[in-house]
A and B are shown apart, each in its own frame.
Chain A
Amino acid sequence: MSILIDENTKVVVQGITGREGTFHSRQMLAYGTNIVAGVTPGKGGRKVEGIPVLNGVKDAVDIYGANASCIFVPPPFAPDAMLEATDAGLDVIVCITEGIPTLDMIRTAHFIRKRGAVLIGPNTPGIISPGKTKVGIMPGHIHKQGGIGVISRSGTLTYEVVDQLTRAGLGQSTCVGIGGDQIVGTSFIDHLRWFKEDRETNGVVLIGEIGGTAEEEAAEYIEEKFNKPAMAFIAGQTAPPGRRMGHAGAIISGGKGKAEDKINALKSHGITVVLNLGQLGKTALQVFKDSRESLVRN
């Protein structure tokens, strides 16, 4: 098992004819992702990498049985793309797009939640269940199938963490980027709930950063309800207040969202926090030493 996506996931790529959309469709195909269709309004009838391009998502569901979407649509049009995917009945919507206005995301996230679909992102590297499929832009080769779940607000930082886990012999069940924006479709807690139910997942690594209180809420949930070992890393211990550190959501405002507060909250709920990213792999081996199932299975 794994969470949300596996070898049976049928993906439609929205924005497939764009530069990013085409490049990453090729990468996903190389990883083994089953992309059944692409969508670019007005360009229906073409093919990209042998994949049929359609004018709308509904056809991708009706004709090709798509059940997940990967969105590479520029910010002004991304909310429309997400709503279209939701309305077409997709279960999992992954929005890679960075730079969507916050108010648009509030409206969009409410709509998607009401319809019961799962939105990952926006501003996310996506989601990967190693050895099975990936819906996103992460480099597939650094991942190894195994038992650790990874939940992160970041992109390349997640690759760094996954690489250290893999080198330490700890494979991953699913790695998901929840997104670096202020408003995202799914939270740490949503994914923790799914990882809790997933029999293949033996432990979880959380990768947080400054801004908001998502890590604090996750810490509480882990202590009260999560039944597997967990550890965390928080980026931004040296970030100055009031400045947006790249990600729209990574900002310390009004004294809230500091790395220190998050680290203290996690520790106070009994979760191991790695302070030096260079030592994450080593620490993970200790935290997950009892979870033999999580060793790499090739």
Chain B
Amino acid sequence: MKIHEFQAKDLFRNFEIPVPSGKLACTPSQAGDVAKSLSGPPWVVKAQIHAGGRGKGGGIRLANSLQEVERAADEVLSNPLITPQTGPSGQKVRQLLIEEGLDIDREFYLGIVIDRRLECPVMIFSQAGGMEIEEASAKHPELVSIETIDIIHGFMPYQARNFFYAIEPMPDKDILKGFSLITSQVYKLFISKDCSLVEINPLVITKSGRLVALDAKINLDDNALFRQRDIAELVDLYEMDELEVRASQHNLNYIRLDGNIGAMVNGAGLAMATMDVIKLAGAEPANFLDVGGGASEEMVTNGLEIILSDRRVKAVLINIFGGIMRCDVLARGVVKAAKEVEIKVPLIVRLEGTNVEEGKEILKNSDLDFLVAKDMEEAASMVANQVR
């Protein structure tokens, strides 16, 4: 799960990680009022959307007067923000974070992620602040250092020193204390809130010698939300596709894509592989939908209804390998969905595994119009032919 920068900064404040003073605004006049209450000029107007690369898309503006704050706010709020991560249609901005502008002396990067291979959290520090860490690692590996963290002992003071004493030129020694505190607090936050990513880019030293987290990015482990109820409430449904919200309410794994072939599959791996064969057959999948290894009739009905609500869908492929899930359950779910919503597009069904004959029988005896594919390869080419 992703949260907004202002929410991440609230968490930072709770963990005594220094951030610039700032407040949220939803209209240009609110933005002006907020700026008035902060020290400045200058002020910074920051679009609050989940996608990264906001600066590149013009979502982060520096303003030197209150009029400039309001004008920048107006511009950012009135047009969808297009960044390298939003896709071509961009993302509507509903909230702005207005902050005091700081005099920056130096910029760094600090982040924590889980290293899957080492099976532990790692803290990454880069002297190339402001630059994305992937780019910094590729172009300036000498500026990037990584500390692996033992899950029992946590982040140790020597590890902060390892980062600090490698900085060139070395900052004033008085800063080490604040730096050690920030690194250990960021780790504490990472662990206690079940994060999958915490990123400060940039972490700055101001001209007055203060260390401040100028930006804040936090992703959380979806699997841990059951014990992070306060975090789970930070979800922003406006950031999610409407159909994805509906699917999640029905416990379905649905991700909307750009093609026109709707697909319903049981199991995530098979769902991905089904998307792949659709593409290999020359068509484009409209979605990823995993109804789950042991889906119920109701989940199948809901899943099919969600696929059919996507107007771009020109054909639907149902690919089920019955294991735990029985093909007859699937068939009943499909027939029920067909009664509730009219299926106006071609339906291709490929069933295999547990109770396959009963499943096929149920479909045959319904007044549903559908085509049967004998295997995955045939299913993909049949569905691709429908949209050619």
Contact = CB atoms under 8 A, between A and B. Distances in A.
Query: Does B associate with A?
Result: yes
Interface of A: 20, 24, 75-76, 99-104, 106-107, 109-110, 125, 137-139, 142, 152-160, 163, 180, 182-183, 207, 209-214, 217, 233, 235-240, 242-250, 254-255, 259, 275-279
Instruction: Name the prevailing secondary structure of the B interface residues.
Output: mixed
Contacts of B353: 139, 142, 159, 163
B321 A277 contact: no
Interface residues of B, number: 55
A157 B270 contact: yes
Contacts of B222: 244, 248
A152 B323 CA distance: 16
A243 B7 CA distance: 21
Contacts of A138: 323
B223 A180 contact: no
Interface in B219-234: 221-224, 226-227
A163 B356 CA distance: 14
B170 interface: no
**B224, B268, B279 interface centre (most CB from chain A within 10 Å):** B268
11 contacts: A156-B321, A183-B119, A235-B269, A235-B270, A246-B253, A246-B268, A247-B268, A250-B269, A259-B276, A276-B277, A276-B280
Given A137-B324, A238-B285, A156 B270 contact: yes
Nearest to A109: B119
Contact of A102 (B224, B266, B267): B224
A236 B274 CA distance: 9
Interface stretch (B20-28, B174-182, B202-210, B372-380): B372-380
Nearest to A213: B117
Given A99-B223, A137-B324, A254-B133, A110 B269 contact: no
B226 A76 contact: yes
Contacts of B266: 156
Given A103-B191, A103-B224, A237 B279 contact: yes
A235 B276 contact: yes
Nearest to B1: A244
A217 B116 CA distance: 12
B237 interface: no
Given A245-B288, A247-B269, A103 B376 contact: no
A160 B376 contact: yes
A250 B226 contact: no
Contacts of A209: 269, 272
B335 interface: no
Contact of A278 (B85, B293, B352, B380): B380
Nearest to B376: A278
Contacts of A104: 224
Contacts of A254: 133-134
Nearest to A183: B119
A102 B221 contact: yes
**A-B interface, 4 closest residue pairs, ranked by CB to CB distance from nearest:** A246-B268, A154-B269, A278-B377, A156-B267
Interface centre among B221, B275, B276 (most CB of A within 10 A): B276
A232 to B, nearest CB: 13
Nearest to B87: A240
Contacts of B114: 102, 106, 182-183
Nearest to A156: B267
Given A156-B266, A246-B268, A102 B223 contact: yes
Contacts of A109: 119
B368 interface: no
Contacts of B253: 245-246
Contacts of B116: 182-183, 211-214, 249
Contacts of B267: 154-157, 246
Contacts of A155: 267-270, 293, 323
Interface in B251-295: 253, 255, 257, 265-273, 275-280, 285, 288, 290, 293-294
Contacts of B293: 125, 137, 155-156
Contacts of A233: 273
B323 A279 contact: no
A157 B269 contact: yes
B215 to A, nearest CB: 17
A259 B272 CA distance: 11
B151 A275 contact: no
Nearest to B274: A277
A246 B290 contact: yes
A217 B271 contact: no
Interface string B60-100: 00000000000000000000000001000000000000000
Given A138-B323, A217-B117, A276-B280, A106 B272 contact: no
B29 interface: no
A194 to B, nearest CB: 20
Contacts of A248: 222-223
A169 to B, nearest CB: 16
B175 to A, nearest CB: 28
Contact of B227 (A76, A107, A235): A76
Given A102-B221, A138-B323, A160-B376, A246 B276 contact: no
